[in-house]
Amino acid sequence: MLLALALDGLGEPPIPLHPVVWMGNYLKFARKRWWTDTPSEQRREGGTWWALGAGTSAAAGALARHLPGGWLTQGILLKPLLARHALFAAVREVHMALATDDLPEARRRLAWHLVSRETSELTASEVAGAAIESLAENLSDSVVAPLLWFRVGGLPGAALYRYANTADAMWGYRTPQLEHAGKLAAHADDVLNLAPARLTALCTLLAAGGRGVGVWARDRTQHG
C-alpha cells in the first residue's frame, strides 16, 4: 500500500494500460447494447452487465495476485487503482486560480478536472465549495476506499471496488435512460462506500484538529 501511494506521485499510467480506462470502456460497450424497455427488464439487464464486469474485475485481480514478485508486484498493480496525486493536483490548480483572482480560469479548471455540471455562472465561493466537495468525495473514492478494500480483499477487492465506483459514475443517475438500468450500480457503490466514507471523514477530522470537529458539527447535515 505504501509503495502504491509512493508510485502514485509519479502520475497516471498510459491510457492504453490503465485498468480504470478498461473498466470505463467496458461500461460504455455494455450501455450501447441495452435494448429492453420496461423498468423490470432494464433493472435485470443493467444488473447482468454490471455483474459481468464486477466478476471480470475481481477475477483479474485474483489472477494478478498470484504473479511473481510479492509485495513489489502487488504495489505496482495497486497503484493505477488510486488517484491521489491527480486529485490533489486538480484541486491545487483551482485553488491557485482563485488565489490570483482569475475566476474564469478557476471555473475552467473546475469543469475540466473535477465536476461535470455547468460552471460558467459560479461565483468564487461556489467554485471553492465545489472543489472542496469534490476533494472530499474523491478522497474517499480514489484513495481511502481502494486502500481499505485492498486491505480487506487484496487486489480482487480493490479492483472490484474501483469497478463499482466507475460504474456508479457512469450509470448511477436518475435519468430516463439510467434510472432503472443503473440502479444496481448506484446501490452497490453506496454499500461499498459505507465504511470508506466514514473512515475518510474520521481521518479528515483527525488531520484538522479541533477546528475540523467544529466545522463538521456545523455542516454535516448540509449536503444535498
pLDDT 10s digits, 56-107: 999 999 999 899 999 999 999 999 999 999 999 999 999 999 999 999 999 9
Give yes or no for residue 28 having a pLDDT over 70.
yes
CB crowding 40-49: b at 16 or more within 10 Å, else e = eebbebbbeb
**Residue position matching grid coordinates 452497490:** 188
The reported pLDDT for the residue numbered 23 is 97
Encode pLDDT of 33-59 as tens digits.
999 989 999 999 999 999 999 999 999
CA distance 184 to 170: 12
Q: Which H or E run contains 110?
A: helix 103-113
